[in-house]
Amino acid sequence: MNKSYLVVIPARGGSKGIPNKNLRKLHGKPMLLWSIETALSVFPNTQILVSTDSQEIKTVAEQTGLQVPFLRPAELSGDTSPTEPTLLHALEWQQKHRSPVDAVILLQPTSPFRKPGTLERAITHFESSGGNSLVSVTSNHSFFWRNMNEAEALYDFENRPRRQDLNDQSRWYRENGSIYITDSKVLIKHRNRLGGRICMFEMSEEESWEIDTLQDLIIVEALMQSIPQVLI
């Protein structure tokens, strides 16, 4: 690892889709802990910040040995609050109270299923690519349409391609919400997790579920039960 990093795990207490979502049990533990354990497998606790407005979430996070030195301000914790101000708030705290870092890693608790080694591979890809920011994606082979009133295909339906015939230029990639890495200076300048030269990091389909609904929770639970060896 050639750069220094701060891992930020944002975990609000409020959630409308799934009440108390970040603490819902997933494969035997609160969902939040999957992201914390991924971070701890790579970084010491002084390079990890859980940003939360909830005392209950703070307590659960601290049971892993993490220090959670502050509760997130209310103005950054509303239902419509974007993530970037939370990243900037955590980065500012880190630089003031600990040490400056080259880049910020965002791990969202709602994307809990990351295989061992995936985060390390993402960091290696970020550093070797020379990029200023990284977004994790998964390959998407679906055939998309738009405009319900005047159907418009986003592919050549007269020459429908086979999945195995798609070349790299023809592939679509879906942002999966699991891992973002941003150069600290880029984050401060653009106030966005993505900026400058952006590189993509491909993750497997099973790692790319975002938990927003109870149906998502059921699916990810089933995945974890069916392939538990990848969680070791």
Which residues are identified as catalytic? 160
Element (H, E) at 49: strand 48-51
- Radius of gyration (C-alpha) of the chain in whole angstroms: 19
Query: What is the C-alpha to C-alpha distance for residues 43 and 98, in angstroms, rounded to an integer?
Result: 15
Distances, alpha carbon 13 to alpha carbons 53, 77, 79, 122, in Å: 6, 8, 10, 28
What residues contact residue 91 under an 8 Å CB cut-off, 6+ apart?
6, 8, 101, 104, 184, 187, 188
Spatial contact of 133 and 196, defined as CB atoms under 8 Å apart = yes
Query: What is the C-alpha to C-alpha distance for residues 177 and 41, in angstroms, rounded to an integer?
Result: 20
Spatial contact of 102 and 184, defined as CB atoms under 8 Å apart = yes
Secondary structure class of 230 (helix, strand, coil): helix
| Dihedral angle computed from the Cα positions of residues 201, 215, 29 and 75, in that order, rounded to the nearest 10 degrees | 70
Query: What is the C-alpha to C-alpha distance for residues 29 and 198, in angstroms, rounded to an integer?
Result: 34
Q: Hey, how many other C-beta atoms are within 10 angstroms of the C-beta on 121?
A: 14
